[in-house]
């Protein structure tokens, strides 16, 4: 009788462990392969890896974020914006807390819950969508994303999580382009307040190396034509590593051998991820302790039924194997997010971006011909220090 009961219990535990392992989603080979290909410059392959995204996958939002970034790097701005908007819609739907997933996360781990991104990832999602629309010259749609950024960064929505200057600048710039200078100025002012060095003239969106002495923007003559180039450097790292990159820390913009200006640092995704971790540390620790206690209680119940082997097995699997932190992150995000706003000649068709290390030594130069869009006397572009597609 006792042996029969043990076998029945073993079956039950085996089934539960199998189910837990399946639900916990140990590996995402397609995602990992796609990220690897992306950072190698194999954008075509990276996109193919994510060709089919299951509609009900708990990581659907993450897949869409990653594929949107890959498609943006390939210059497929329309498709990229569709992915980003689908990811944003998915996040909105996840605002309703799932009791089933929540309960699973109390028994297995946090990775069984649907991925909806950290608050900084959600604001950057809109900033990246805005970039697609800027590249397409869809100014009204870019402004829609600006409003979504503002909504995401609202203290009521954001809570204690960090906000980022890059998204604020993007919101301000998109509003500036649709002739909404007062709201643009407000966003530029907030972005300036978040910058660790440098300053933004809220009336023009132009950068200064340091805040003016009186805190008042100096009068400056408007250049006939301007280039606003969003500069993206490095990668956001994976797992417990927050960043990786090739050593570049800023970029200069050149046209026909003449330096037009340099980029200014706005946000660092490694810092944002770290600050987010700090905000979540207490909540996560409390949840982990609670979960381990539940698992220990289950194991002890088997011990009390004279089944020490089963109790140890449960401890090994439920605590040893399944208990792990949720390190899911939008890994194709760049590490450093910067903007170069420089005077440029009329009829700009191409320019060079030289990525430089802290000593000013060039690390990589890219000849940019796409995207370059124009609204009035402002040219808009973006560039990232990724390997060029083979």
By CB under 8 A, residue 55 contacts other proteins: no
Using the minimum distance from each CB to other proteins, give the nearer residue, 142 or 314.
142
**Does the protein bind other proteins through residue 78 (CB under 8 A)?**
no
Task: Single out the segment in contact with other proteins by CB under 8 A; choices: 90-98, 185-193, 208-216, 349-357.
Answer: 90-98
Q: Is the dihedral of CA 281, 105, 123, 36 positive or negative?
A: positive
Quote the least distance from Cβ 159 to other proteins, whole Å: 7
Minimum CB–partner distance for residue 227 and other proteins (Å)? 25
- What lies within 8 Å, CB to CB, of 104 at 6+ separation is 23, 112, 113
Joined together, the tokens standing for residue 113 give 């819950």
The reply on whether position 178 binds other proteins by CB under 8 A is yes
| Selection from 211, 189, 187 nearest residue 199 by Cα | 211
**CA–CA dist 147, 293 (Å, integer):** 44
Own/partner contacts of 22-31, CB < 8 Å, gap of 24 or more, are 23/104, 23/108, 23/112, 24/108, 24/109, 24/111, 24/112, 24/322, 25/58, 25/59, 25/111, 25/112, 28/59, 31/59, 31/62, 31/63, 31/66
Q: Which of these ranges, 65-73, 114-122, 143-151, 378-386, lies near other proteins under the rule CB under 8 A?
A: 143-151
The correct pick among 32, 44, 78, 140 for binding other proteins (CB under 8 A) is 140
214 near other proteins, rule: CB under 8 A: no
Burial of residue 51 (CB within 10 Å: 0-12, 13-18, 19+) is exposed
Choose one: 13-21, 89-97, 299-307, 339-347; the region binding other proteins (CB under 8 A): 89-97
CA distance 311 to 14: 12
For other proteins, the binding residue among 45, 74, 76, 147 (CB under 8 A) is 147
Q: What is the closest distance, in whole angstroms, from the C-beta atom of residue 327 to other proteins in the complex?
A: 26
Under the binding rule (CB under 8 A), the answer on residue 85 touching other proteins is yes
State the Cα–Cα distance between residues 305 and 13, nearest whole angstrom. 14
List Cβ<8 Å contacts ≥24 apart for 47-51.
47/71, 47/74
CB 167: neighbour CB atoms within 10 A? Answer: 32
Q: How far is the CB of 253 from other proteins (least distance, A)?
A: 31
Residues within window 324-363 making contact with other proteins, judged by CB under 8 A: none
Q: Is 28 exposed, middle or buried (0-12, 13-18, 19+ CB in 10 A)?
A: middle
Residue carrying the six token digits 């009035």: 376
Binding-site member from 3, 29, 54, 159 for other proteins (CB under 8 A) = 159
Among 116, 148, 315, 328, binds other proteins (CB under 8 A): 148
* Position 151 contacts other proteins (CB under 8 A): yes
Shortest spacing between CB 144 and other proteins, in angstroms: 6
Residue 3: CB minimum distance to other proteins, A: 22
Q: Which of 59, 132, 141, 331 binds other proteins (CB under 8 A)?
A: 141
In whole angstroms, how close is the CB of 161 to other proteins at the nearest point?
Answer: 12
282 binds other proteins (CB under 8 A): no
Q: Which of residues 92-131 bind other proteins (CB under 8 A)?
A: 95-100
What CA dihedral angle connects 222, 226, 229 and 230, to 10 degrees?
Answer: 30
Q: Does the footprint of other proteins cover residue 156 (CB under 8 A)? A: yes
Q: Is 143 in the site for other proteins (CB under 8 A)?
A: yes
Binding site for other proteins (CB under 8 A): 85, 95-100, 140-141, 143-144, 147-148, 151, 156, 159, 178
């Amino acid at each position: 009788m006792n042996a029969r009961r043990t076998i029945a219990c073993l079956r039950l535990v085996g089934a539960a462990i199998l189910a837990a392992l399946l639900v916990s989603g140990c590996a995402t080979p397609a995602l990992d392969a796609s990220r690897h290909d992306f950072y190698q410059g194999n954008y075509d392959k990276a996109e193919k890896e994510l060709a089919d995204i299951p509609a009900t996958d708990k990581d659907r939002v993450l897949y869409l974020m990653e594929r949107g970034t890959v498609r943006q790097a390939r210059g497929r701005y329309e498709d990229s914006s569709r992915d980003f908007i689908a990811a944003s819609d998915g996040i909105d739907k996840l605002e309703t807390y799932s009791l089933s997933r929540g309960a699973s996360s109390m028994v297995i781990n946090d990775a069984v819950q649907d991925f909806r991104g950290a608050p900084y990832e959600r604001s950057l999602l809109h900033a990246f969508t805005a970039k697609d629309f800027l590249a397409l010259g869809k100014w009204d749609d870019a402004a829609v994303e600006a409003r979504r950024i503002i909504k995401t960064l609202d203290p009521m929505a954001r809570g204690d999580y960090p906000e980022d200057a890059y998204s604020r600048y993007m919101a301000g710039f998109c509003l500036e382009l649709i002739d909404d200078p007062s709201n643009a100025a407000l966003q530029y002012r907030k972005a300036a307040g978040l910058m660790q060095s440098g300053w933004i003239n809220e009336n023009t969106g132009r950068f200064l190396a340091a805040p003016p002495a009186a805190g008042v923007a100096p009068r400056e003559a408007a250049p006939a034509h301007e280039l606003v180039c969003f500069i993206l450097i490095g990668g956001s790292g994976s797992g417990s590593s927050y960043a990786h990159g090739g050593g570049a820390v800023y970029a200069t913009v050149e046209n026909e051998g003449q330096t037009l200006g340099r980029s200014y640092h706005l946000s660092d995704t490694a810092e944002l991820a770290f600050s987010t971790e700090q905000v979540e540390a207490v909540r996560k620790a409390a949840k982990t302790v609670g979960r381990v206690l539940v698992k220990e209680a289950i194991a002890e119940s088997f011990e009390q039924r004279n089944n020490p082997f089963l109790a140890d097995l449960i401890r090994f699997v439920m605590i040893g194997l399944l208990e792990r932190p949720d390190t899911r992150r939008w890994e194709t995000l760049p590490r450093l997010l910067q903007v170069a706003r420089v005077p440029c000649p009329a009829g700009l068709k191409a320019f060079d971006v030289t990525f430089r290390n802290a000593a000013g030594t060039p690390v990589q130069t890219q000849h940019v011909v796409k995207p370059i869009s124009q609204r009035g006397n402002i040219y808009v572009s973006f560039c990232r220090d990724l390997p060029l597609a083979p």
